[in-house]
Amino acid sequence: MAEVITVAVVDDDRMLLDGIRSWLAGAPGLRLVGCACTVDELLDGWRERADVVLLDLVLRDGRPSAENIRRLREAGSRVLMISVVPDRDRIVAAIADGADGYLTKDHDLSVLVGAIEEVAAGGTAHSPELAFAWACDQGIRPKLSPKEREVLVGYASGLTLKATARRAGITANTAKYYLDRVKAKYQDAGRPTYTKIDLALRVREDGWVHPGIPPT
């Protein structure tokens, strides 16, 4: 039997909370373990930690979203932001503060379930809103050397590390060194990147192309 993903929701829109309860009740593999209007209310009242918390970007209690994200992460949950509007600056800030994805509330159930599953698996939920925010925000795209970019693009395209190194004219150990530097730079930019899938997403989000050719 597949492992069930536990989910909690923090939102002060009662109608939305009721809607999500109904939606998730019919989603196989997901189990709702808590609903609250504030992070305080959720943490004080839940009896079971949620794997993923759906967190509204702006709550009426006025707590900064950065603080809400931090407290939920410290409690052991991953965080998927949900919001009415695709505000680019707030999207970028939320991810930099540690959120694992951003989704607007106008998506259907299949998109929401897919995002929850991606976040629960340790990835980042890359909605169109998030991709647009990354593409428009140059300040959080790390500065990579031409060789770092070459290794990133080659490896993320599906090549093995050895094949990437061979194409770049370097050893596999050197290629791994460059790849580790790339991951560290994304970490410093507030965009943690762990897997090959994550790297491929970063290439697409940031418009990285072959070194020497400016991104479009």
The rounded distance, in Å, linking the Cα atoms of 35 and 21 is 8
The rounded distance, in Å, linking the Cα atoms of 93 and 109 is 25
Name the token pair of 12.
């002060």
Instruction: Tell which residue, 54, 57, 2, 3, has the closest CA to residue 33.
Output: 54
Amino acid at 35: C
Which of these ranges, 37-51, 53-67, 118-132, 164-178, has the smallest mean pLDDT?
Answer: 118-132
The rounded distance, in Å, linking the Cα atoms of 36 and 15 is 12
Is it the case that residue 2 has pLDDT exceeding 60? no
Q: What is the pTM of this model?
A: 0.61
**Tokens 């919001």 appear where?**
83
* Stated length of the chain: 216
Is it the case that residue 83 has pLDDT exceeding 70? yes
Between 47 and 56, the more confident residue is 56
Q: What is the crossing angle of helices 146-156 and 196-206, to 10°?
A: 120
The pLDDT value given to residue 167: 92
Split at pLDDT 50, 70, 90, the class of 55 is very high
Instruction: Tell which residue, 173, 52, 166, 170, has the closest CA to residue 115.
Output: 52
Is it the case that residue 121 has pLDDT exceeding 50? yes
The pLDDT value given to residue 132: 58
| Mean pLDDT for the chain overall | 83
Beta bridge partners of 31: 6
The average pLDDT across 196-209 equals: 79
Is it the case that residue 21 has pLDDT exceeding 90? no
The average pLDDT across 119-142 equals: 68
Is it the case that residue 36 has pLDDT exceeding 80? yes
Instruction: Tell which residue, 158, 152, 161, has the closest CA to residue 184.
Output: 152
Q: Positive or negative, the Cα torsion across 137, 142, 146, 150?
A: negative
Phi, psi of 102 (to 5 degrees): -145, 130
Between 91 and 101, the more confident residue is 101
The pLDDT value given to residue 195: 87
Task: Answer whether 46's CB lies under 8 Å from 8's CB.
Answer: yes
